[in-house]
Amino acid sequence: MKKRKTIIIILISITLLFFIGLYLYFENNYLQISVYTMESSKIPKDFVGFKIIQISDFHNTKSKKLTNDLVKEIKNSNPNIIVITGDLIDAYKTNIDIAISFVKKINNIAPIYYVTGNHEARIENYAEFKDKLEENKVTILDDKLEVIKKDNSEINLIGIDDLSFNLNTYRDDSTIVEDNLIPIQYDKNKFNILLSHRPELIETYAKNSFDLVLTGHAHGGQIRIPFIGGLIAPNQGLFPKYTSGVYEMSNTKMIVSRGIGNSILPFRVNNRPELVVIELKNK
């Protein structure tokens, strides 16, 4: 009798482990597409229907399925531009070749604009990585402005380097961002999009009159609890406020991507990899 019970317990345990493994594989390898509409009276009519793809926290993922699906969905979305909001590589398991291989698969779909994340700041060979990105037609917005033109109209795309590039300073994070923005001469009457890795600085972004801010970094809170949200995020700690979706402050809308890959924690729960698609509309 005891032997029979032991066998049953073992079989149940194996079955549970199988389904848990299957669930974790699904959660970490099956892409989710999130589509947002950004409406503003500042969006020129020529930009109505303009489509932006946002990729964040790729972390040189080794999942071929995830990467292939990502490339396929980017092509199917037919974007006007692609933006990458940091952590294209991973400082703990750095593989520049994987990240560049992914870029090569998408750099003929649409122009790519990129800002750094904290992981880029941690690697010794970032200069080499930066050169390879530029060789593959990626525009690096390291505290720079790019004017995006369509027909007779313009919008501004601004990118800032991650704060981790400014560790040798006594300034707080908000001051670093504001100092980095000072040399960037952007017309606040135009529609201004900011690319920044970190979502926790929304107050600073709103203070500087950005209309749309695209961020990542939080990994969706890594483990998402129903009706509560993310469990933990870098620079926000437990039960972080900004992990996924749209947040508004003053006249600023911020979209936080849950990202693609993983870093220190090797898995996600209730938090599939996310590709963000944004369409602009005139209000």
> Rounded mean pLDDT of 199-203?
97
Q: Are residues 5 and 118 in the same domain?
A: no
Q: Are residues 132 and 226 in the same domain?
A: yes
Which residues are CB-contacts of 202 (< 8 A; sequence separation ≥ 6)?
Answer: 213, 242, 247, 249, 252, 254
Give the E-state strand segments of 141-270 in sequence order. Answer: 144-150, 153-159, 192-195, 212-215, 224-225, 229-230, 232-233, 237-238, 245-249, 252-256
- Per-residue pLDDT of 122-174, as tens digits, reads 999 999 999 999 999 999 999 999 999 999 999 999 999 999 988 777 889 99
Residues 58, 192, 235: CA angle, nearest 5 degrees = 45
Q: Are residues 129 and 16 in the same domain?
A: no
Q: Are residues 63 and 23 in the same domain?
A: no
Q: Are residues 124 and 23 in the same domain?
A: no
Q: Are residues 133 and 25 in the same domain?
A: no
Q: Are residues 213 and 86 in the same domain?
A: yes
- Whether the Cβ atoms of residue 106 and residue 112 lie closer than 8 Å to each other: yes
Which residue type is seen at 196? S
Q: How many CA atoms lie within 13 A of 220 on its CB side?
A: 29
Q: Are residues 278 and 249 in the same domain?
A: yes
Q: Which of 37-46, 146-155, 167-176, 259-268 has the lowest mean pLDDT?
A: 167-176
DSSP of 26-60: HHHHS-EEEEEEEEETTS-GGGTT-EEEEE---TT
Closest CA to 91 of 62, 66, 125: 125
Q: Which residues pair with 40 in a beta bridge?
A: 282
Q: Are residues 195 and 256 in the same domain?
A: yes
> In the structure, what pLDDT confidence band is assigned to residue 14 with cuts at 50, 70 and 90?
confident
Structural domain that includes position 18: 1-30
CATH code assigned at 170: 3.60.21.10
> Rounded mean pLDDT of 218-245?
95
Q: Are residues 12 and 131 in the same domain?
A: no
Question: Does the global pTM surpass 0.85?
Answer: yes
Q: Are residues 21 and 111 in the same domain?
A: no
pLDDT over 70 (residue 1): no
Q: Are residues 22 and 68 in the same domain?
A: no
- Whether the Cβ atoms of residue 237 and residue 225 lie closer than 8 Å to each other: no
Number of domains in the chain: 2
Distances (CA, A) of 79 to 36, 56, 76, 82: 13, 16, 8, 7
Which residues are CB-contacts of 100 (< 8 A; sequence separation ≥ 6)?
Answer: 132, 133, 136
For residues 216, 205, 129, 29, the Cα torsion angle rounded to the nearest 10 degrees is 10
Q: What percentage of the chain has pLDDT greater than the value 90?
A: 85
Taking residue 244's Cβ as centre, other Cβ atoms within 10 Å add up to: 24
> Rounded mean pLDDT of 42-55?
97
